[in-house]
């Protein structure tokens, strides 16, 4: 009992906030002392962002319901990624290289460089990550990442990469978005029929998707190459549809660990696979090559409608 109480005390956010309430922006200390930004729209919708990884951990509608999944076992520690929300994957996807899994952007602390409110009421925050001694040690390139999070009647995120060094580099990039669902067996992905996919559970077998509605009946780990820019996640359990619109990002990943993998993940609850699905946008199948001084940009917008 003592250990449980100690952990809860450690994880409790510091409510002593530096507030810009007129603009719907709060900077404070979140779980385990990690710096946090909270954006609130006039509708009552909100977004929570941790500077650790520039990690969006919550996107709540006007009723306070979190549309993103965050594991109850997630570690809010500087040396570990946060499990859930929207992790930023850069410059490597998964274990497709010599770097730590999914690269280092999600475990570095980003700087908040700009925030405010636009004339239409949209609230935003822009974060930045540049090379540092730890990144240079494992990936010897100079770069600048900028990540803009905008909240209105939708959630829009924009990510850019600039090569600030003297040599070209190649990278993969993705927004590893975890959605909260009522029941994994009651959801379906729409819009991927006819698209080539790479199945990570079958030794990267390539084939074309034949289903109009992609249901989930077991572990799923698929990269859809050159996917359409607009997809729909149908959630019958919540009687809603989530619309995913992307630009500058060629591929889409669909992932759910299911039962066996869930029990092997230390920062993921054994039963949590039932209430989440990852739909990731990014450039994965073909890495991007960026010349010195060049800049890449990609964006994804999430919105909600009734089913």
Phi-psi map region of 204: left, alpha, beta (phi>0 left; psi -120 to 50 alpha):
left
Q: How many CB atoms lie within 10 A of CB 270?
A: 11
| Residue tagged active-site, from 146, 209, 272, 280 | 280
| Residue tagged active-site, from 176, 209, 238, 272 | 176
CA atoms of 173 and 171, how far apart (whole Å): 7
CA atoms of 99 and 90, how far apart (whole Å): 10
Q: How many CB atoms lie within 10 A of CB 103?
A: 26
Residue 280 is among the residues annotated as catalytic for this protein: yes
Catalytic residues: 176, 280
């Amino acid at each position: 009992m003592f250990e449980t109480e100690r952990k809860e005390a450690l994880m409790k956010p510091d409510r002593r906030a530096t507030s810009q309430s007129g603009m719907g922006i709060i900077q404070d200390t979140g779980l385990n002392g990690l710096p946090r930004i909270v954006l609130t729209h006039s509708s009552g919708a909100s977004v929570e962002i941790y500077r650790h990884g520039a990690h969006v951990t919550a996107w709540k509608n006007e009723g306070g319901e979190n549309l993103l999944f965050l594991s109850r076992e997630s570690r809010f520690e500087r040396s570990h990624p946060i499990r859930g929300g929207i992790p930023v994957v850069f410059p490597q996807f998964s274990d497709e290289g010599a770097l730590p899994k999914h690269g280092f952007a999600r475990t570095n602390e980003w700087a908040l460089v700009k925030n405010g409110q636009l004339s239409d009421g949209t609230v935003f925050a822009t974060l930045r990550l540049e090379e540092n001694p730890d990144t240079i040690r494992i990936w010897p390139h100079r770069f600048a990442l900028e990540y803009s999070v905008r909240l209105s009647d939708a959630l829009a995120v924009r990510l850019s990469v600039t090569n600030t060094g003297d040599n070209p580099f190649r990278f993969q990039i993705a927004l590893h978005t975890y959605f909260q669902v009522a029941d994994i067996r009651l959801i379906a992905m729409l819009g991927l029929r006819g698209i080539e996919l790479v199945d990570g559970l079958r030794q990267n077998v390539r084939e074309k998707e034949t289903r109009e509605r992609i249901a989930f009946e077991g572990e799923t780990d698929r990269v859809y190459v050159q996917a359409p820019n607009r997809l729909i996640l149908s959630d019958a359990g919540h009687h809603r549809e989530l619309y995913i619109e992307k630009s500058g990002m060629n591929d889409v990943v669909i992932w759910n660990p299911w039962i066996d993998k869930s029990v092997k993940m230390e920062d993921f609850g054994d039963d949590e696979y039932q209430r989440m699905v990852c739909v990731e946008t990014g450039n994965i199948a073909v890495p991007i090559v960026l010349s010195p001084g060049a800049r890449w940009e990609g964006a994804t917008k999430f919105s909600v409608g009734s089913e």
